[in-house]
Amino acid sequence: VSAPHVLTLAYHLLSESWPPPLGISESTLRSHLGLLQQRGYVGLTFGEAERRRRLGELPDRTVVITFDDGYASTLRAREILADYGYRGTVFVATDFVDSGEPFSWPGLELPSGSPSLSQLASLTWPECRALLESGWEIGSHTTEHGRLTDLEDEILRDHLERSRARIVEELGSCDTVAYPYGQADRRVAKAAAEAGYVAGCTCSARHDVDEPLRRPRINLSGSDTGVRLRVQLSPLTERVRRTELIRLAWILRRGRSWTPRDE
């Protein structure tokens, strides 16, 4: 029996001025959502999809729309998703929610032309609560966005546990994690399970086993090549479904480069 395939998409910053790979414009996001809606994709949060997978109750075509880091613009993304009947999952870096400092970590490079740095502001806890109340899921993106595969065991555990504890404290529950930089090896996945997460997602290409703590995602704000994307979509899906998903992913990805950017 083949496992049902969930199309899980990863976005970051909704912005008219911040270029890819971090930024995506409203019109591009709308083109993605319109296509998904047109093709009959049912939107679930990441946690819901995991629960329904376990119950064997996944819709025939499921899309999980996720936003990493927790940019304040995710509130605007909520409005846009709602226009298409979708809800999302946002993975927040809790130290930044707590401090109110703009996001800053290795690899978060400022583009030329310097669009306003205020775009790197985090969601606040009241904003997270508002998202939750409108049907979104708030998951963890750890505390400070460290590269987990490089951290010593004890620090790794601390980042995973403390982040989850803060979200539980503020919002009542936290079942899922998106690993910073999309990276999790077996040690990281094991630590996440031990920290109480039920499911986790990477931005990796396909994984060989059916593993709740390392679900793959398609990073639509990233720079994956088409070849890598094909591989990512390939495992354990029937031929027709696979063809459909590959075609869809190609259209979504190409759509971004068709969209002129405001400067």
In the complex with Zn ion, the residue whose CB is nearer, 43 or 180, is 180
The binding site for Zn ion (CB under 5 A) comprises 68-69, 180
Q: Which residue is nearest to Zn ion (CB)?
A: 68
In the complex with Zn ion, the residue whose CB is nearer, 20 or 180, is 180
In the complex with Zn ion, the residue whose CB is nearer, 15 or 62, is 15
Q: How far apart are CA 82 and CA 100, in angstroms?
A: 27
In the complex with Zn ion, the residue whose CB is nearer, 28 or 122, is 122
Q: How far is the CB of 48 from Zn ion (least distance, A)?
A: 22
Hey, which bits of the chain come out as E strands?
Answer: 6-11, 13-14, 23-24, 42-43, 62-69, 88-92, 137-140, 176-178, 199-201, 218-219
What is the number of other CB atoms lying within 10 angstroms of the CB of residue 9? 20
In the complex with Zn ion, the residue whose CB is nearer, 90 or 229, is 90
86 Cβ contact partners less than 8 Å away, ≥ 6 residues apart: 33, 36, 37, 43, 63, 65
Q: What's the one-letter identity of residue 89? A: T
In the complex with Zn ion, the residue whose CB is nearer, 28 or 219, is 219
| DSSP label at residue 39 | T
- Chain center to CA of 210: 19
- Whether the bond between 111 and the residue before it is cis, its omega within 30 degrees of 0, is no
Residue with the two structure tokens 């930044």: 96
Q: How far is the CB of 68 from Zn ion (least distance, A)?
A: 4
Q: How far is the CB of 141 from Zn ion (least distance, A)?
A: 6
Q: How far apart are CA 176 and CA 167, in angstroms?
A: 11
Q: How far is the CB of 203 from Zn ion (least distance, A)?
A: 9
Q: How far is the CB of 120 from Zn ion (least distance, A)?
A: 12
Q: How far is the CB of 219 from Zn ion (least distance, A)?
A: 10
